[in-house]
């Protein structure tokens, strides 16, 4: 498997620490608002990576956090606390807000066939781990107390700028433009590990700690959760491109200072979804979700198809026009794949030939758009019989997750259902009374309405064909 590693700035061959086993960490959502289509691009891509690793034979253990405790706009005591803003907006407790948006996120994930990670950890459940890390960082001189808060001293960590590959001045400037400076810090890039004296005194969630009653900084949660649940050596860490600095830069600094060795070898950053050619972002009021698309009449998987058709390491612009095109292409494809009926025996050689090609595309920097093209090529190939085509598509769909073989289930309204059930009962009674002409008459009557009865050992079932 080869993909772009932000740490080395090149496409690299992936070698996990333990052969065949991957410890994978993905930054999760902040749950003070909806996860929009941009956020979902990131989660769909991470889902495909996980499934691709598995398809290529690896075992994957994936952990994701849920940011359910104050998420400040910046790293020091600056910006605004988005959870507090949500509490004021919705007149709910932070717990209620976190639950509402976590549930909503799960529902959106399910609509685009994202597998829920093996372990999902709300940040509020690992406070002891953050305290443990911060205590050690204070003991070893990587952290200091200033005006009630605990800060990480970035000047103590020589590789601080390695991941971003940018210079200190540039980064400070980039993160500086809309926030006032925190005068408690020793160095401009220092960031808060623990707040006891935040200017946001109205925090609902606070915990006792050796440094005083307060709450954790934003970055420490990912280090704490990843180390606690995946151990001291992480194989691969994901996030969107904006996470490189400061979030992941700070994660590396605090984790490696705590562990005393290198933490994670591979960092993957997924490119943004744009709208009107700027980053889709909650702060700009972008709240279109997968559910919104569904309400608007789209098949949510058309969005997944759109994301898989683009290269994860390139920004893409979302427009409804593009979505319409992708929906048309997806439904056309679906029409072809779902109408395949088995014929012939599985042709093992052709199966392997196509499957190896699929694996090659996946291992070459997750070439999902090539994988989709391969589905079209397969469908067109007259040398491959339908049984082999079906088996290949079934197998590939464990990665693509586009429901390529799932026939659309027609919704049955309750009136129709009770009519069918009544007729099935009448027919059962007729058969019990040996009135076979009546039983046949009922069957025919239903058939004319497109309702096909099937007698099974468990009883009579039906299928709608119209
Ligand atoms: P948030 O809940 O805002 O922290 O975002 C959750 C994840 O979505 C993070 O990894 C973000 O970096 C990512 N993200 C935010 N906006 C976009 C976007 N427009 N395109 C892709 N990913 C995004
Ligand atoms: Zn994170």
pLDDT at 77: 45
Structure confidence at residue 69 (pLDDT) = 83
Which ligand minimizes its atom distance to the CA of 221? 2
The pLDDT confidence band at residue 177, using thresholds 50, 70 and 90, is: very low
Q: What is the pLDDT of residue 75?
A: 46
User: What secondary structure does DSSP assign to 255-288, as a single string?
Assistant: HHHHHSS--EEEEEEEPPEEETTEE--GGGT---
In whole numbers, what is the pLDDT of the chain averaged over residues? 91
Q: What pLDDT band is residue 43 in, cutting at 50, 70 and 90?
A: very high
**116 and 53, same domain (yes or no):** yes
Decide if pLDDT at 458 tops 80.
Answer: no
Does one domain contain both 388 and 419?
no
Q: Enter the tokens of residue 56.
A: 């290529």
Q: Is residue 280, in this structure, part of any structural domain at all?
A: no
Same structural domain, 341 and 231: no
Closest CA to 368 of 132, 13, 52: 52
Structure confidence at residue 95 as a pLDDT band (50, 70, 90): confident
Tell me the backbone φ, ψ of residue 364, rounded to 5 degrees: -90, 75
Residues 402 and 330: beta-carbon distance below 8 Å: yes
What is the pLDDT, as a whole number, of residue 91? 83
For the cut 80, the answer to whether the pLDDT of residue 80 exceeds it is no
Average pLDDT over residues 284-310: 95
Query: And the tokens for 222?
Result: 């990912």
Q: Computed over its alpha carbons, how large is the radius of gyration of the chain?
A: 27
Token couple for 214: 């307060």
Nearest to 130 by CA among 204, 195, 50: 195
Same structural domain, 385 and 420: no
**Domain presence at residue 10:** no
72 and 159 fall within a common domain? yes
Q: Determine the average pLDDT of the residues in 397-420.
A: 86
Whether residues 355 and 380 fall in one domain = yes
CA distances from 221 to 143, 205, 297, 347 (A): 16, 15, 38, 50
Domain membership flag for residue 432:
yes
Percent of the chain with pLDDT over 90: 75
Q: How far apart are CA 71 and CA 422, in angstroms?
A: 57
Count of domains observed in the chain:
3
List beta partners, residue 463: 452
Our mutation pick for probing the ligand 1 site, out of 35, 38, 278, 287, counting the most ligand atoms within 8 A of Cβ, is: 38
Pocket of ligand 1 (CB under 6 A): 27, 29-30, 38-39, 41-42, 239-240, 242-243, 272-273, 279-281
pLDDT class of 201 with cuts at 50, 70, 90:
low
- Give 182-229 as a DSSP string: -TT-SSTT-EEEEESS-S-TT-S--B--TT-SBEE-HHHHHHHHHHHH
CATH of the domain at 304: 1.20.120
pTM of the full structure: 0.86
Q: Answer yes or no: do 183 and 315 share one domain.
A: no
Closest-CA residue to 269 (of 314, 227, 310): 314
Q: Counting atoms of ligand 1 from 1, which one is nearest the CA of 238?
A: 10
Using the atom order of ligand 1, give the atom closest to the CA of residue 273.
Answer: 20
Which among 354, 375, 400 is the end of a domain? 400
Is pLDDT of 215 > 50? yes
pLDDT at 282 (0 to 100): 82
Residues 307, 266, single domain; the answer is no
Residues 300 and 270 in one domain: no
d(CA 12, CA 45): 18
Q: pLDDT higher for 285 or 246?
A: 246
| pLDDT value of residue 178 | 45
Using DSSP, state whether 140 is helix, strand or coil: coil
Q: Which residues contact 48 (CB under 8 A, 6 or more apart)?
A: 308, 312, 366, 368, 399, 400, 401
Mean pLDDT confidence for 187-207: 83
Q: State which residues form the domain around 429.
A: 414-464
> Predicted confidence band at 399 (pLDDT cuts at 50, 70, 90)?
very high
Element (H, E) at 93: none
Tell me the two tokens of residue 83: 């959870």
Q: How far is the CA of 52 from the centre of ligand 2 (A)?
A: 22
Same domain, yes or no: 159 and 253: yes
**Domain end (from 217, 244, 275):** 275
Residue 73 has pLDDT above 60, yes or no: no
Over residues 327-370, the pLDDT tens digits come to 999 999 999 999 999 999 999 999 999 999 999 999 999 999 99
Residue 342 falls within a domain, yes or no?
Answer: yes
**Same domain for 249 and 328:** no
Give the pLDDT score at 437.
95
Question: Buried b / exposed e across 369-407, counting CB within 10 Å, b at 16+?
Answer: ebbbebbeebeeeeebbebbbbbbbeebbebbbbbbeee
Most confident residue range from 36-50, 175-189, 274-288:
36-50
- The verdict on residue 286 lying in a domain is no
């Amino acid at each position: 498997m080869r993909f772009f590693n932000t740490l080395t700035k090149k496409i690299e061959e992936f070698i996990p620490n333990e052969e065949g086993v991957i410890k994978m960490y993905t930054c999760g959502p902040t749950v003070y608002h909806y996860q929009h289509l941009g956020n979902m691009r990131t989660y769909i891509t991470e889902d495909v990576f996980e499934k691709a690793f598995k398809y290529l034979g690896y075992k994957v253990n994936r952990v994701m956090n849920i940011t359910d405790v104050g998420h400040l706009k910046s790293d020091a005591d600056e910006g605004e606390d988005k959870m507090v803003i949500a509490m004021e907006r919705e007149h709910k407790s932070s717990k209620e807000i976190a639950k509402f948006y976590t549930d909503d996120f799960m529902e959106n994930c399910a609509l685009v066939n994202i597998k829920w990670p093996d372990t999902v950890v709300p940040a509020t459940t690992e406070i002891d781990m953050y305290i443990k890390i911060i205590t050690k960082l204070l003991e070893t001189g990587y952290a200091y107390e200033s005006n009630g808060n605990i800060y990480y001293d970035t000047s103590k960590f020589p590789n601080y700028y390695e991941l971003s590959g940018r210079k200190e001045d540039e980064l400070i400037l980039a993160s500086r433009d809309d926030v006032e400076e925190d005068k408690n810090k020793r160095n401009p890039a220092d960031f808060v590990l623990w707040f006891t004296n935040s200017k946001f005194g109205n925090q609902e969630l606070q915990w006792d700690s050796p440094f005083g009653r307060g709450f954790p900084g934003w970055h420490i949660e990912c280090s704490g959760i990843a180390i606690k649940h995946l151990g001291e050596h992480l194989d691969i860490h994901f996030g969107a491109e904006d996470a490189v600095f400061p979030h992941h830069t700070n994660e590396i600094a605090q984790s490696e200072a705590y562990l005393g060795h290198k933490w994670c070898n591979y960092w993957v950053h997924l490119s943004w979804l744009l709208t009107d050619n700027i980053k889709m972002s909650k702060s700009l009021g972008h709240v279109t979700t997968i559910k919104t698309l569904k309400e608007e009449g789209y098949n949510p998987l058309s969005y997944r198809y759109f994301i898989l058709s683009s290269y994860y390491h390139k920004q893409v612009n979302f427009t409804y026009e593009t979505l319409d095109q992708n929906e048309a292409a997806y439904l056309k494809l679906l029409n072809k794949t779902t109408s395949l009926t088995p014929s012939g025996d599985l042709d093992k050689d052709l199966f392997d030939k196509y499957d190896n090609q699929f694996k090659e595309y996946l291992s070459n920097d997750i070439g999902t758009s090539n994988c989709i093209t391969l589905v079209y090529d397969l469908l067109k190939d007259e040398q491959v019989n339908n049984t082999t085509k079906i088996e290949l598509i079934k197998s590939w769909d464990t990665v693509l997750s586009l429901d390529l073989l799932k026939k659309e289930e027609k919704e049955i309204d309750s009136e129709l259902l009770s009519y069918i059930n009544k007729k099935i009962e009448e027919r059962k009674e007729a058969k019990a009374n040996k009135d076979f002409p009546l039983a046949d008459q009922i069957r025919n009557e239903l058939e004319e309405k497109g309702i096909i009865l099937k007698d099974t050992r468990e009883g009579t079932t039906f299928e709608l064909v119209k």
